[in-house]
Structure 1
Amino acid sequence: MNDAGQRPRRGIGHSTNLVGRPSEWLASCAFNDAAVPLHIWGVVEMNPSLFTMLAQADDLAEAGEAFSSYMMAMFGLDPEQHAAASAGQRRFRSSFLRLIQGWSFDSNGPEGAVLKGWVESRFGLCPSFHKEIIEHVASRAWTTYVEEKMSSRFHNNAIWVQLDLLFEFCQWAIRRFVCPGETHLTLYRGVNAFDEHWIVDRTARREAVIRLNNLVSFSSDRDTAGCFGDTILTARIPVSKILFFNSLLSSHALKGEGEYLVIGGEYRVSVDYV
């Protein structure tokens, strides 16, 4: 029960995903407490040359260069192509970096909807917030989210396949260079209100189980998180739920220092105040 004595709201979800694990379990504290590695079906197997290149990298910077080169060759994401599109010579090809940049400005914008749609497709976790609370599929909020996530301007270059590759590269990099052998990272999120986060249970005065949106930003630095809100949520995040972090690529576009994009669901958090 929540603070108001009412039954807590539950997120929308479905049973299908591309990671071979029950979606309900992926969204639960049980998964987050004892997480296992996650892989999107077929991505590694269909891109052996990428992972052969990555295996030869001596550090994260070199691996990032190899990944960027592969994405340029596969999807035409080079700066010259971007300049030509800006000059009206041809249509700009959608890029995962453009989505991340859009997220950094407004996670409830069209780019954010596409990213949330990718999480829904691959993990079976639907968003609980996009511009407003989403409680059921017959709502205006759900309709707006679906319209934006399917916008043709973001789906002209296999954008979800790009995100599949980004996720697998991120998972590889975390385990190879960032925190080998670790299953969780302690990360922080600053909020001013709980409008986007549904309180499932108050386990103690400063501890709670909350339902996070299906994709959310965290920071590895508590002080940085405090710049985004006067309430600090601290959580142990499974590394298998991290899609992107700032030092993954030299050309990253996230604004917050030490920022991580994390697959959501229900998390145990401690609640402190700045």
Structure 2
Amino acid sequence: MADGAALRDANGRAVDPESPLALRALRTNLVNVPADALCAESYNDEPRRLRIGATRSEHAALFEALDESPNALSASDIFQQHMAERFGVNPDFSGAEGADGKRRFRASYLRLLKGWMFDSNRAEGAVLKGWVESRFGLLPTYHKEPIRRFASDAWVVYGEEKLSTRFHNNNIHQQLDLLYEYCQWTIRRGWPDAPMPNWASHIRLYRGVNDFEEHHIVARPDKRTAVLRLNNLCSFSIQRDIAGQFGDYILDAWVPLPKVVFFRDILPRYPFQGEGEYLVIGGDYRVGVSLL
């Protein structure tokens, strides 16, 4: 950029060069859609299927076995058995026994999901947001507090927690890559009791908020509609009444299925709380806004 030239967004508004928005278009990712396009509202209108690098081809045997599974429960068992064999991740135990007989902590996608559902602003949440940043190129806008500048304390805290050595062992990002691809495989397979048919492109989800502190307002066409820049990973519910337990305002959005990272039904044997919770990749979303 030439000296003195102002950095501006798509609407011509000046952008702080130290804000996460300023470098959004410069982020790299490992999927087949550029980060800037993936963040845009237009992607949600016409979503494209997303693939994380060579994850599917590197685990071809897993997906071949999944294609032969007769039902969702069998598919879940196949997936978790593969994760146990490949990463030593046992749904009932998050450690590993060393040569001295002592149990060692082993990072697990299950532990991260459990931590997120308890509190998305803990270290587990930072690791998951860091994975989205790495794979999809979308930066977080909130972790414990709004992240408005790279030089802010909020950004430093997020950076420290996302790199926590406690969770960055056992190829945790590769585990999450497989979880995403398995989730997308399940959606496209379209089991009879699935929450969306396999021909669908979107799913209607809800989010309860007390205010818009966590979300950057891109536009507010009217009182019942807003375009929000959602956090790079955020939670929605498939049930409006459950979303209403988390705030006085209800946001409803048609979420493109390629942006769904996880939902409870893909691991039915694991005792997650919050059965209606969906983990969704963020970006700019047009949402309906209503009071309870």
TM range (shorter): over 0.9
Unaligned 5+ runs, structure 2: 1-12
Question: In structure 2, what is the equivalent of residue 47 of structure 1?
Answer: 59
1:104 aligns with 2:117: yes
- The residue identity in structure 2 corresponding to 1:163 is L
- 2:153 maps to a residue whose letter is R
Task: State the distance in 2 between where 1:28 and 1:253 align.
Answer: 35
Q: Does 1:129 align with 2:142?
A: yes
Match of 1:205 among 216, 219, 223: 223
1:19 is aligned with what amino acid?
A: V
Counterpart among 245, 250, 254 of residue 232 in structure 1 = 250
Aligned residues with identical type, % of pairs? 51
Contact 2:243 2:250 in 1 (8 A): yes
Q: Aligned equivalents of 1:195 and 1:157: distance in 2?
A: 35
Measure the CA separation in 1 of the matches of 2:156 and 2:176.
23
Mapped partners of 2:48, 2:129: distance in 1: 22
CA drift of 1:164 comes to 0.1
Conserved 8 A contact 1:101-1:253: no
> Shift in Å at residue 204 of structure 1?
1.6
Q: Of 180, 189, 200, which residue of structure 2 is paired with 1:167?
A: 180
Deviation at 1:91, TM superposition (A): 1.2
TM superposition score normalised by structure 2? 0.87
Q: Which residue of 1 aligns with 2:133?
A: 120
| Match 1:78 to one of 71, 90, 105 | 90
| Aligned residue number for residue 155 of structure 1 | 168
2:256 maps to 1:260? no
* 1:89 aligned partner: 102
Contact 2:91-2:270 within 8 A present in 1 as well: no
**What amino acid does structure 2 have at the position aligned with 1:166?**
L
Quote how far apart the aligned CAs of 1:15 are.
2.6
> Pairwise CA RMSD of aligned residues?
1.9
Deviation of 1:79 (Å): 5.3
Deviation at 1:259, TM superposition (A): 0.8
Partner in structure 1 of residue 8 of structure 2:
none
The one-letter code matched in structure 2 to 1:149 is K
**How far apart, in 2, do the equivalents of 1:157 and 1:47 lie?**
17
Q: Give the Å deviation of 1:16.
A: 0.4
Structure 2 vs 1, CA of residues 207 and 81 (structure 1 numbering), >3 Å: closer, same or farther? Answer: closer
Distance 2:172 2:75 in 1: 21
1:214 Cα offset (Å) = 0.3
Equivalent positions of 1:244-259 (< 5 A) are 244-252=262-270, 254-259=272-277
How far apart are residue 8 of structure 1 and its match?
8.9
1:65 corresponds in structure 2 to 77
Residues 81 and 92, structure 1, Cα contact 8 Å, conserved in 2: no
Q: 1:27 aligns with which of 39, 61, 64?
A: 39
1:139 paired to 2:152: yes
Distance in 2 (CA, whole Å) between partners of 1:80 and 1:262 is 26
Distance 1:269 1:54 in 2: 35
* Distance in 2 between residues matched to 1:198 and 1:181, nearest whole Å: 32
What residue in structure 1 maps to residue 7 of structure 2? none
Residue identity in the other structure for 1:124: G
Shift in Å, 1:11:
4.4
TM-score normalised by the chain length of structure 1:
0.92
Structure 1 residue corresponding to 2:209, chosen from 177, 180, 191: 191
The aligned counterpart of 1:3 is none
Classify the secondary structure of the residue corresponding to 2:289: strand
**CA offset at residue 83 of structure 1?**
6.4
Deviation track 1:212-267 (CA, whole Å, cap 9, x = no partner) reads 00000001110111111111000000000000001110244543231100000010
Code of the residue aligned with 1:115 in structure 2: it is L
Contact residue 224 and residue 257 of structure 1 kept, 8 A = no
CA distance in 2, matches of 1:97, 1:79: 7
Q: 1:79 to 1:24 in 2, by over 3 A?
A: closer
Task: State how many pairs are aligned.
Answer: 267
